[in-house]
Amino acid sequence: TRDLQKMVFRHPGIWIIALSSAFIYITKYAIAGWGVLFLQKSRGFDLAEASQIIAFSAVFGILGTVLAGWLSDKVFKGDRVKPAVLSGIISTSSLILFLFVGGGFVLNIFYVSLFSLAVGVLYCIVAGLMAVDIVPRKATGAALGVVGISSYMAAGLQDITSGLLIQYNTVHVDGADIYDFGPVSWFWVVASVISFLLPVLNWK
């Protein structure tokens, strides 16, 4: 068992997947943690409306995880790369729409829901199915452990980085805080792109 665990730690594929999963967690928890503030300060929604929009994120994220296995096994016949690319493109596109295009209450619910659905699918395929595919069955626990630890570490680092980017791009004018979400938005978008390109380009 110890030899299997050592094999997992030496397997470059596991570290690529762990890194990819970390970037997925950056975008996933960015929207969950900072989405309400973004909608209030950048889009002018009140606290209740902003909270309702972001609440859809959790619901559709769960739905995405349920859909992932069925999509990969039934629709794509066991192919991991195609659903990873598809869900990655959808999640990144909807994130860009949410951060840079805007719109009304219903449109923002649509962006957030589509983003969370696609991220749920992507996470399950990358951090679950891909990770399990590349190691022996007895080593799956160790593989998922590495992926899980890196994901939660990234979620914590995201919170610190996003907080600093928001803080340093906020100016105080006439007694009010003026927020510039541009830098932090690009941080989230770049993380989203890396999250699906990293495992797809290195899958072989």
Q: What is the residue-averaged pLDDT of the chain?
A: 89
| Percent of the chain residues topping a pLDDT of 90 | 58
Name the more confident of 126 and 10.
126
Name the more confident of 19 and 143.
19
pLDDT at residue number 1: 62
| DSSP character string of 70-88 | HIIIIISTT-SHHHHHHHH
Q: Are 113 and 56 in contact (CB under 8 A)?
A: yes
Q: How far apart are CA 56 and CA 16, in angstroms?
A: 30
Helices 182-201/81-96 angle, 10° precision:
170
Say which amino acid occupies 41. Answer: K
pLDDT at residue number 204: 66
pTM exceeding the 0.85 threshold for the entire prediction: yes
Could you tell me which of 118, 119, 98, 101 has the C-alpha nearest to residue 109? 98
Joined tokens for residue 82: 């195609």
Above 80 in pLDDT, residue 134?
no
Above 70 in pLDDT, residue 60?
yes
What is the helix (H) or strand (E) element at residue 172, kind and residue range?
strand 170-173
